[in-house]
Amino acid sequence: MQVSLLNLNEVVAGIDKMLKRVLGEDIELNESLGPDLGMTLVDPSQVEQVLMNLVVNARDSMLEGGKLTIETRNAVLDDDYASTHSGVKPGQYVQLSISDTGCGMDEQTKARIFEPFFTTKGLGKGTGLGLSTVYGIVKQSGGNIWVYSELGKGTTFKVYLPRESGAATAEVSASATGTRILHGTETILVVEDEQALRKIAIRTLEAVGYTVLLAADGEDALRISAQYADRIHLLLTDVVMPRMGGRLLVQGLMKKRPEIKVIFMSGYTDDAIVKHGVLDVGTNFLGKPFSSEALQNKVREVLDQETGTIAAGNERDANTTDEAGTRPFDEGKLRALPPATLASLREASIAARYDELVQIIGTIQIASPDLANGLKELANSFDYQGILNSIGRQDDER
């Protein structure tokens, strides 16, 4: 290793043109580089290798085009994070994130991606060494790597490299001078399908005085809300969950509790999740993994906002259409689909089963790619009601 004190923004800028050539014209490249990014002691050529490997991997997951977002920021990994991630030392880091809108991975694949020679690519198309090389470089540099992925939605890799101690100390000192009062007495409904994160949330929030209600998914959250007689001040919800996603949950919950405030959380970064069309600009958002302090700060910040300013996280209404006032597909083609396919679309949308919906749309892709892409837009925005409205309108016309 030929290590030197480095700003990761310089690495990204230095190979920007090469990245665009690698990605090609079908993939949109977005960069969001932290202006106050700290320094890290690493080998510049190895960091370039990490970035290129992750970008190529992302490109190969977006065979029909998509969006790729590269972000840098300062990060803190605290004791709570370290307790659930073996080998992680709490401390100050710089974070490099690469997010794509590709095919995503299931849990079995995700568990093996850093194994040498493991690949999901066809014969002769991959050595299975790219991600294992990335893992080795990151660990050799004293850092950590974390992956978040959803089938049919995309993947985010987050690389954490130790921040140079002088910069970290200066930031901690500056933060200490502006310490806020983080405690509260409000009631918070936390909706998260990962048990470990639910435990961290309840421990962190109850420690500073909040009453916490826990739900494993959207349907569970609606049931808890219906049974809870008192006010729920804040909803803290994951974006993508089994059966019912965060967007649909918010729409259902606000019918009964219009005053509730909302924070979305996801393994995607906030910039990526907006650029990829999952949430709108201005949404209250908390990226995973988060520290206890970051969670407490965000909760207090949103609770202290004026009522109604971002009450629904700028959620689009379930009946939203595109700017032209029509659905993003040819309704004549939708009308021509076999009744069995329409019935399957309806059932999957009613049940908010995203993975099943993607599979059905995949069967439409071969015969009618434009229609499939339009339906995929609604599915990727978790606009199940929009799909139901379109299907219902076609049934009426028949």
CA distance linking residue 241 with residue 175, whole number of Å: 34
pLDDT band, residue 172 (cuts 50/70/90): very low
For residues 360-383, one letter each, b for 16 or more C-beta atoms within 10 angstroms of the residue's C-beta and e for the rest, the string is: bbeebeeebeebbebbbbbbbbbb
Q: What is the largest CA-CA distance in the chain?
A: 70
Give me the mean pLDDT over the 250-274 stretch: 80
With a cut of 60, say whether residue 28 has pLDDT above it: yes
The answer to which of 7-11, 15-19, 32-36, 267-271 has the lowest mean pLDDT is: 267-271
Which residue in this structure is represented by tokens 């997010």? 99
- N- to C-terminal Cα distance for the chain? 69
* pLDDT over 90 (residue 387): no
Averaged pLDDT for residues 186-199? 88
DSSP state string for 201-247:
HHHHHHTTT-EEEEESSHHHHHHHHHH--S---EEEEESS-SSS-HH
Quick check: 129 pLDDT over 90? no
pLDDT digits (tens, 9 = 90+) for 212-230: 999 988 888 999 999 999 9
Residues contacting 268, CB < 8 A, separation 6+: 99, 148, 154, 156, 239, 276, 278, 287
Closest CA to 234 of 200, 185, 273: 185
Q: pLDDT grade, residue 342 (50/70/90)?
A: confident
pTM comes to: 0.50
| Amino acid sitting at position 251 | Q
Residue 269, classed as helix, strand or coil, is coil
Of the listed ranges 88-97, 144-153, 214-223, 343-352, the one predicted with least confidence: 343-352
For residue 380, the model assigns a pLDDT of 62
Show Cβ contacts of residue 129 under 8 Å, excluding neighbours closer than 6 positions. Answer: 116, 117
What is the reported pLDDT for 235? 95
Q: Which of 47-56, 76-85, 358-367 has the highest mean pLDDT?
A: 47-56
Q: What percent of the chain has pLDDT over 90?
A: 20
* Phi–psi pair at 34, nearest 5 degrees: -60, 125
d(CA 51, CA 159): 10
**104 touches 154 (CB < 8 A):** yes
For residue 126, the model assigns a pLDDT of: 54
Q: Buried b vs exposed e over 6-26: b needs ≥16 C-beta within 10 Å?
A: bbbbebbeebeeebeeebeee
Residue range 100-125: mean pLDDT, rounded: 77
**Per residue in 293-338, pLDDT tens?**
888 889 998 998 865 433 343 333 333 333 334 456 677 777 778 8
What pLDDT, on a 0 to 100 scale, did the predictor assign at position 338? 87
- Which residue has better confidence, 80 or 296? 296
- Calpha distance 351→397 (Å, rounded): 24
pLDDT at 273: 56
Per-residue pLDDT at 389: 76
**pLDDT: which is higher, 171 or 16:** 16
Query: 314: Cβ–Cβ under 8 A, 6 or more apart, which residues?
Result: 279, 280, 281, 282, 283
User: Which one is predicted more confidently, 2 or 57?
Assistant: 57
Token readout for 165 is 């101690």
Q: How many CB atoms lie within 10 A of CB 28?
A: 15
